[in-house]
Amino acid sequence: NAGVTQTPKFQVLKTGQSMTLQCAQDMNHNSMYWYRQDPGMGLRLIYYSASEGTTDKGEVPNGYNVSRLNKREFSLRLESAAPSQTSVYFCASSEGGESWDEQYFGPGTRLTVT
């Protein structure tokens, strides 16, 4: 049981390049999330998917797109990377529904945009 996995662990991009961050969970969770963590800012929600087939914007969605590929996988795409997107990205999942469920986090992806 791997929990929440993310690939890649590290990435360096040039301004304007695109890339997709992959996330998968094996806990049969309904809800999945993408956060970014910047120094002094805590974690901020980028996008989330309450259930398979749905996605919604979080606090900081500009410059990102997401795809809930199936129940297990939730990807985050940067179409044209900017230095302001240098951050650590965390994927998380939870059971969702009506329960007061905790979110389980992946190990994070450290992205640098030069």
Partner 1 sequence: AQKITQTQPGMFVQEKEAVTLDCTYDTSDPSYGLFWYKQPSSGEMIFLIYQGSYDQQNATEGRYSLNFQKARKSANLVISASQLGDSAMYFCAMREGRGGATNKLIFGTGTLLAVQP
Residues in touch with partner 1 (CB under 8 A): 31, 33, 35, 40-45, 48, 50, 56, 58-59, 88, 90, 92, 94, 96-105, 107-108
- C-alpha 84/C-alpha 32 separation (Å) is 24
Nearest-approach distance from CB 85 to partner 1, in angstroms: 18
* Residue 45 parent element (H or E): strand 42-49
9 SS3 class: coil
Cis preceding linkage at 61, omega within 30: no
Closest to partner 1 by CB, 25 or 94: 94
CA quadruple 22, 64, 89, 93: dihedral, nearest 10? -60
Closest to partner 1 by CB, 19 or 104: 104
Nearest-approach distance from CB 7 to partner 1, in angstroms: 15
Nearest-approach distance from CB 102 to partner 1, in angstroms: 5
Nearest-approach distance from CB 11 to partner 1, in angstroms: 15
Closest to partner 1 by CB, 17 or 101: 101
The encoded tokens of residue 83 equal: 């230095």
